[in-house]
Amino acid sequence: MLRPDAGGLYCAAGDFWIDPLKPVPRAVITHAHADHARSGAGEYFTAREGLPVLAHRVGDGGDFNAVDYGQPFELGETRVTLFPAGHILGSATVRVESEHGTWGVSGDFKRAPDPTCALFQPFDCDVWMTECTFGLPVYRWPATEQVVGEVLDWWQDCIDAGRPAVLFCYALGKAQRLLAELADRAPRPIWLHGAMQPLTECYREQGILMADTQTVSEAGKGYKFSGDLVLAPPSAAGSPWMRRFPRHSSGFVSGWMRIRGNRRRRGYDRGFVMSDHADWPDLIRTVTDMQAERVITIHGSGEALAGYLREQGIAAESWNLRATLSRSEPA
Amino acid sequence: MKAFAELFDRLDRTTATNAKLAALVDYFRSVEPADAAWAVNFLTGKRLKRLVNTRELREWTALATGLPAWLIEDSYEQVGDLAETMHLLLPPGSGRASALGLAGLVENRITPLRDLDDEARRDAVMRLWQELDGSERFLFNKLLTGGFRVGVSKRLVTRALAEVAGVDSTLIAHRLMGRWQPTARAFQALIAPASEDDLDTATPYPFFLASPLEEGPGSLGDPADWQAEWKWDGIRAQLIRRGGQTWIWSRGEELMEGRFPEIEAAAEALPDGVVLDGEILAWRDDRPLPFAVLQKRIGRKKPGAATLAKAPVAFLAYDCLEWNGQDARETPLFQRLQHLDQALAAAAGLLRSAAVDFQRWTELDTCREGSRERGVEGLMLKRLSSPYRVGRTRGDWWKWKVEPFTFDGVLIYAQPGHGRRSGLFTDYTFAVHAGDELVPVAKAYSGLTQDEIDRLDRWIRNHTRERFGPVRSVDPVHVFELAFEGIQSSPRHKSGIALRFPRIHRWREDLSVGDADRLEDLKRLLDTRQRQ
Ligand SMILES: [Zn+2]
Ligand SMILES: [Zn+2]
């Protein structure tokens, strides 16, 4: 019913694409991250809560359709329903029903609670297409509460030492999740890199409660940021912008920080293991919860998970959606 | 173990030298001497003898996690470090063994593994996996699989100990040399106030290491203040003659007892209370033999007559660190050289590494260019007024090496690196053309920037042809310029040659596979080298 195309998936029965990376007439978008949402589609379908962020990311040019979670809508010969994915605000998994059966497609998802978005909701399907960003058993997340505690302890150490604490994290989703986790625990306002400010406003406008923030560009000249927490996207690391924070301690919040070499190679002082993706146990738990007879891994290196599931007696395979990008590219 | 794990975490979470120093000082001041002794041992790079092999560890990890072996391998490939992979895969531990000190863990739980049968050893390791958690379990795995690096140098550990002891760090470095053992008593002696006789008679002095001279000697000032010597391609060693006994220590602080009987015999003629610094070389008819000949002697604990005849060695002395039983390191080099001459006058079997005569710096250019024909690596430049310092202190000793050989090779295999490079494909194998084939000639892992490493890693993952365990063969596309120091014939290699110290000079994205060098080109170097 679905096949890889345009960097995403194409459904012929409904004549629509899920998360295409190239311009298509009609796109169902799971969430606004750049590896799932691109500008140029004729028509967009996305979860209502995700619309403001998506519009901010892909521009106002498209024709947007806001869809409520759990409310089926017709596309061609299919019935499509979006369910909360628990990944970022407005993120969704897609259920496609037709006479060929029921398919579930994840964009990205996680199972841990997140104050900025609705909890992942499983549904029954025949085929479950699962993301597999962290598809190895070494990826196992500690409880969010513990990691937030580690971040606060580190911030306190920086306050004691009078140093800026620069915390790198993705600008959409992770930054706001952190701000929400810190809402009533931050000892002082948190500084934001300019790239994070508009997205954070999007979240605030939808009523997400977050810690007070200021934008770094608003700070007075010569302000030292001693003991202040600054959130910045990973791309800012090593850039001239960092000169604003002499003697800073740096941290990175990401599932990749589970592995020591990843942190040391990038030269971060601290790694905080918090991810908006499912870890290995949750990838497997979700396969069980979706009751699917067949599993297809997408987004990430899914061979290991597919191989493991096969050994457990589940029909599983791995698809590389990216391959369709170079294949259809004109030479 | 808790305190040691906390120290590890503190060291691991900062790149600032002062913060690391403070962490070390806090640790050494607060823990039991026996624990501190083992910490010194591990932090200065010493390892436990391997008690468990990695195949067993993988099997036990499979047993403890219920995961298939291939998935453990895939995980290892991603993580790049077996100790860490096991720790991340194992279910959370109870932390019950956390109260065990480092010495207790090593002496009561790790070293006894040696005497256990396979099953009991497995049970003992698996029990510790259950009883330790977090950094403690990771470090336990590190101790089982070898050593670990935490970005502290031996020199930094020495500085921390000097601060704890309130003595000069050169004294600490000296006390740590030679036969130092990780015991509570040895740690207490290590941080004791300075005294006359706190050193074992076999203890060598810390070696003074030369820094590379990048620009040429013009900036060093008046040539008359400097002595030039050949830079030998042998084993740096210290020859000790004290109390009628001889000891030879390598720079790696290995005691070379019995390995070089001709040097030990020659040293008997030295006056007592003398320590010489110099180089062990394979040597015949007043000139060095290729390093490959010396290699035949390195592994031999008790060489027989045939080996002695085939691979004769000599000690070429270039400094005198102790004279008349007195530490002479603070006296200037020109005086130490006088002591050296006196010492060697008595011991005819030991050779003097002679000075290279020159008046002007420009004369040295010619000398240096002739290094290869002489079988040396280049020149050493030493300030005549300088004391004998500790470690790699810049300013008084420079090594000025000849330009390395280079060739263009094709990347054909890659495997993940370790430590800082873990999880990335950073260990490469390069090949040259031989007829229609590409024949591997060198393995190298250093010399690329982080950006290049990342880019190449992505490329490798997308252009893998075959997998052999952790090794992947890749499409032969990328050409690299590699440098190396020497070449020798080697029947063990398919190419028939072995290169010394190969490393990547640069990624030649301007070249294609056809432009890479041919095996004949490399073998030609071999011929010129062997004709000498
Ligand atoms: Zn995402
Ligand atoms: Zn994604």
- Looking at A132-255, which runs of residues are DSSP E strands? 165-168, 190-192, 213-215, 229-232, 249-253
* Beta-carbon separation of B421 and A261 below 8 A: yes
| Overall residue count recorded for chain A in this entry | 331
Residue A247 three-state SS: coil
Give the class (CATH, top level) of B211-401.
alpha beta
Q: For the residues of B495-510, what is the DSSP string, one character each?
A: TSEEEES-EEEEE-TT
Q: Which of A310, A304, A296, A312 is nearest to A125 (CA)?
A: A296
- The residues, any chain, with a CB within 8 Å of residue B392's CB and separated by 6 or more, are B209, B210, B211
* Beta-carbon separation of A138 and B68 below 8 A: no
**Among B2, B20, B142, B231, which one carries the catalytic annotation?**
B231
- Looking at B143-263, which runs of residues are DSSP E strands? 211-212, 226-231, 235-242, 245-250
Looking at residue A330, its pLDDT comes to 40
Per-domain residue ranges of chain B: 2-145, 211-401, 405-531
- Sign of the Cα pseudo-torsion (A69, A72, A73, A78, in order): positive
For residue A92, give the ligand nearest its CA: 1
Task: For strands A190-192 and A127-131, give the pairing.
Answer: unpaired
| Overall residue count recorded for chain B in this entry | 532
**How close, in Å, is residue B72 to chain A by CA atoms?**
8
Ligand 2 center–CA A34 separation, angstroms: 8
- One-letter amino acid at A172 equals L
CB A241 within 8 A of CB A234: no
**What is the interface pTM, i.e. ipTM, of the complex?**
0.94
Same fold, A2-138+277-327 and A144-272: no
Chain B neighbours among A 287-326 (CB < 8 Å)?
Answer: 304, 307-308, 311
Q: Which of A272, A137, A256 is nearest to B90 (CA)?
A: A137
User: Architecture of A2-138+277-327 per CATH?
Assistant: 4-Layer Sandwich (3.60)
Residues of B in contact with A268 (CB under 8 A): none
Q: Which of A30, A45, A37, A40 is nearest to A7 (CA)?
A: A37
Size of interface A-B (CB pairs under 8 A): 57
Residues facing A170 on adjacent strands: none
pLDDT in tens, chain B (532 residues): 899 999 999 999 988 889 999 999 999 999 999 999 999 999 998 889 888 999 999 999 999 999 999 999 999 988 988 999 999 999 999 988 888 999 999 999 999 999 999 999 999 999 999 999 999 999 999 999 887 777 788 889 999 999 999 998 888 988 888 788 999 999 999 999 988 766 778 889 999 999 888 788 988 999 999 999 999 989 999 999 999 999 999 887 778 888 999 999 999 999 999 999 999 999 998 889 888 788 888 878 889 999 999 999 999 999 999 999 999 999 999 999 999 999 999 998 999 998 999 999 999 988 888 888 888 889 999 999 999 998 888 899 999 988 888 899 999 999 887 665 667 888 999 999 998 889 999 999 877 888 888 889 989 988 888 888 778 899 899 999 999 888 888 888 889 999 988 999 889 887 888 888 999 888 887 765 444 4
**How close, in Å, is residue B74 to chain A by CA atoms?**
7
CB B266 within 8 A of CB B349: yes
A237 in reach of chain B (CB within 8 A): no
Q: How distant, in Å, are the alpha carbons of B244, B254, B302, B509 from that of B257?
A: 15, 9, 9, 50
Looking at residue B474, its pLDDT comes to 92
pLDDT category of residue A86 using cuts at 50, 70 and 90: very high
Is CATH 2.20.25.240 the right assignment for the domain spanning B405-531? Answer: no
Q: Which of A99, A83, A88, A90 is nearest to A14 (CA)?
A: A99
* Of residues A215 and B462, more confidently modeled: A215
Looking at residue B528, its pLDDT comes to 57
Name the DSSP letter for residue B391: B
* Beta-carbon separation of B68 and A308 below 8 A: yes
Looking at residue B366, its pLDDT comes to 86
Q: What is the mean pLDDT of residues A184-210?
A: 96
- One-letter amino acid at A254 equals S
B79 in reach of chain A (CB within 8 A): yes
pLDDT category of residue A172 using cuts at 50, 70 and 90: very high
Looking at residue B323, its pLDDT comes to 96
A77 φ, ψ (degrees, to nearest 5): -90, 10
B491 φ, ψ (degrees, to nearest 5): -65, -15
Ligand 2 center–CA A56 separation, angstroms: 18
As given in the structure block, the two tokens for residue B24 are 């070390």
Distance CA B452, CA B105 (A): 42
* Beta-carbon separation of A260 and B84 below 8 A: yes
CB B325 within 8 A of CB B273: yes
* Beta-carbon separation of B79 and A138 below 8 A: yes
Task: Determine the Cα angle at A256 with ends A255 and A257, to 5°.
Answer: 90
Q: How distant, in Å, are the alpha carbons of A183, A303, B492, B523 from that of B485?
A: 60, 42, 20, 14
Q: Classify domain B2-145 at the CATH topology level.
A: DNA ligase i, domain 1 (1.10.3260)
Give the class (CATH, top level) of A144-272.
alpha beta
Residues facing B104 on adjacent strands: none
Q: At what angle do helices B134-145 and B82-89 cross, to 10 degrees?
A: 140
Q: How distant, in Å, are the alpha carbons of A136, A268, B80, B525 from that of B84?
A: 14, 18, 8, 43
Task: For strands B226-231 and B378-383, give the pairing.
Answer: antiparallel
Task: Indicate whether A305 pLDDT > 70.
Answer: yes
B81 in reach of chain A (CB within 8 A): yes
As given in the structure block, the two tokens for residue B277 are 């610094």
Task: Indicate whether A21 pLDDT > 60.
Answer: yes
CB A213 within 8 A of CB A221: no
Looking at residue B421, its pLDDT comes to 63
Ligand 1 center–CA A297 separation, angstroms: 15
Same fold, B2-145 and B211-401: no
Per-domain residue ranges of chain A: 2-138+277-327, 144-272
As given in the structure block, the two tokens for residue B303 are 């060489």
Distance CA B36, CA B40 (A): 6
- End-to-end Cα spacing for chain B: 57
* Of residues B417 and A123, more confidently modeled: A123
Q: What is the mean pLDDT of chain A?
A: 94
Ligand 1 center–CA A91 separation, angstroms: 8
Residue B301 a catalytic site member: no
